Structure 1
């Protein structure tokens, strides 16, 4: 069937449903031959990227870990501008601008790889359905890893958190993050036995050998918050008495972000994810003169240079003395920039 009003006037249809429009009779015939050779293609050829995503979400998404699900939930909105396009019309050139935008924003290569991974998964579904015949994600060009700007808490932000902690349990927890450098999962999973309020230190951590069971002093600024949760505990975990969410994903979305948004700390220009607390501990500590070996031990890294982890042993008093530089008397100093994971 032809429609001379269209730039691609040759229409292919099956059972009254339009399958596509083509510039020439030859192109239309080739497409029709492809459809006839693969009968189910007539039912899938017009699926949009969004519909392909729905298939993936129903079939494969439930098999992912909570962390994997969260990763793809975060990345999928990046495709908002193209998700209504038919999957067969989406190619490398359609998705490359999404990668380029991340590069221009200074986002990490890891962020770019997540976009490519999401697109690749959708391409695989589309290939299974005979909608496309190749995985176009493999042709995406990623930028080089450069210096990444990390969002950190300013001194004013920290004051807001500490003031709010008087009436907010979530702000109490955020303050503990800021003054210990613990990762999100490390603090949420901290056993009650890992908290010593007689000598004021945590013993806990995870991820690496250097990070496991490390000593972290509990500074006076957060001692009332730590004691509060110890006394409120209802189980084996330090935060078992917390009335909010102890699942990392839910804590982040339902407790942490809303609290920072309420305080005006998190905005569209400042992402301020939970790891920002850890970056802040490292950044403030470095700028306030905490020695590198102490920071390495507090944060659960092997060392700041290749030898310190082997030849220097820091006892609790040394850690406490160095970490005390984070206390309020130093809060007027400038915050520098350092990289931490």
Structure 2
């Protein structure tokens, strides 16, 4: 057999290692090893010399792990951040906090949809503006307010590109909504809701998604819902709301389709909270909204085979189905916790294509 030519310096080496440390004959006997300059690390064992050599030549170092938050911290130490006004710095900080669920994610693992969902959530939820008499009015964020989120993402990605951590700037593709730009707000379809019910045996967290759909609760309301606020005999959930006075004192009625789910969640609760998570050491705790999204809500959709939809989709689905089922405007306004039905109608009720089609048949 011809002697193989020595590999150039800095390439690494391929050598035959016939036996394991235990003395057994290896199936894959050719070891590919990185050069000394890269720590002489083994990259694997292969069946033939050629395969080991190919692996060595085509080897790429794994991308360095760095989180979304770490890059933002780098940006904060940069002259670009330090030279702007304190007001602008505060806006960058506030915008960054909107991306809380992405803070600890590796920048390489973040997808476009992860970023866009945060902008969509801000657009969809709006905010409650106090009128000074104990009443609130629902407002939508301006395009400039939402654009600030895109700007801070752009700063993070530009910093990562300068450090040669990534090549693609996802911020360029983000869509900014807001007042004057009303994009379609998704809802869960009837078949998706049925799919969630069917998935419960192997996907118990789907129960939380279903309760949110059938109650129309805001994420924060559901996340911190105490079991003592639930009256199974009267089929009511009371005094659980947030934001407006109408929201804080409102009642929600437990739909028959989720009553057994609610009953089960109450029975399982160890903290007195409807939503719980378990640490690796077995300790039960109430998760933050970030943990809820990352470990409960989105995985439940994935396990059910349903495309990613933001948590507020549950609230829009509730409002739309209730409206189309004939719930009166006043009743729906109270169920949603709004002080004005116009808020419910303009910001929450979505129109299904099949519903519109049926309405057209009446003409």
TM-score of the two chains, using structure 1 as the length reference: 0.53
Q: Aligned partners of 1:165, 1:122: CA distance in 2, in Å?
A: 39
Match of 1:200 among 235, 251, 256: 235
What runs of 5+ residues in structure 1 fail to find an aligned partner? 1-49, 82-97, 124-141, 307-331, 337-341
Partner residue of 2:334? 297
Partner residue of 1:70? 100
Partner residue of 1:179? 214
Report the Cα offset of residue 274 of structure 1.
0.7
Match of 1:264 among 295, 305, 321: 305
Contact 2:101–2:294 (CA under 8 A) maintained in structure 1: no
Q: Aligned partners of 2:276, 2:305: CA distance in 1, in Å?
A: 28
Q: Aligned partners of 1:52, 1:157: CA distance in 2, in Å?
A: 37
**Could you list the per-position Cα deviations for residues 131-188 of structure 1 after superposition, in whole angstroms to 9, with x for gaps in the alignment?**
xxxxxxxxxxx77632221121000000001112244331111110110000111111
Contact 1:185–1:248 (CA under 8 A) maintained in structure 2: yes
Partner residue of 1:56? 75
Report the Cα offset of residue 235 of structure 1.
2.3
Q: Aligned partners of 2:98, 2:254: CA distance in 1, in Å?
A: 33
Contact 1:178–1:280 (CA under 8 A) maintained in structure 2: yes
Matched, 1:231 2:267: yes
Contact 2:101–2:291 (CA under 8 A) maintained in structure 1: no
Q: Aligned partners of 2:245, 2:296: CA distance in 1, in Å?
A: 30
Partner residue of 2:60? none
**Could you list the per-position Cα deviations for residues 238-293 of structure 1 after superposition, in whole angstroms to 9, with x for gaps in the alignment?**
33588796321111112211221222211xxxx41111111110111122221111
Q: Which moved more, 1:242-251 or 1:183-192?
A: 242-251
Partner residue of 2:257? 221
Partner residue of 1:286? 323
Q: Aligned partners of 2:244, 2:70: CA distance in 1, in Å?
A: 40
Partner residue of 1:159? 194
What runs of 5+ residues in structure 2 fail to find an aligned partner? 1-68, 79-88, 125-140, 159-175, 279-283, 344-351, 357-363
Matched, 1:250 2:287: no
TM-score of the two chains, using structure 2 as the length reference: 0.50
Contact 2:247–2:338 (CA under 8 A) maintained in structure 1: yes
Q: 1:118 to 1:72 in 2, by over 3 A?
A: farther
Number of residue-to-residue matches in the alignment = 221
Report the Cα offset of residue 222 of structure 1.
0.3
Q: Aligned partners of 1:300, 1:249: CA distance in 2, in Å?
A: 24
User: Secondary structure of the residue that 2:262 maps to in structure 1?
Assistant: helix
Q: 1:66 to 1:80 in 2, by over 3 A?
A: closer
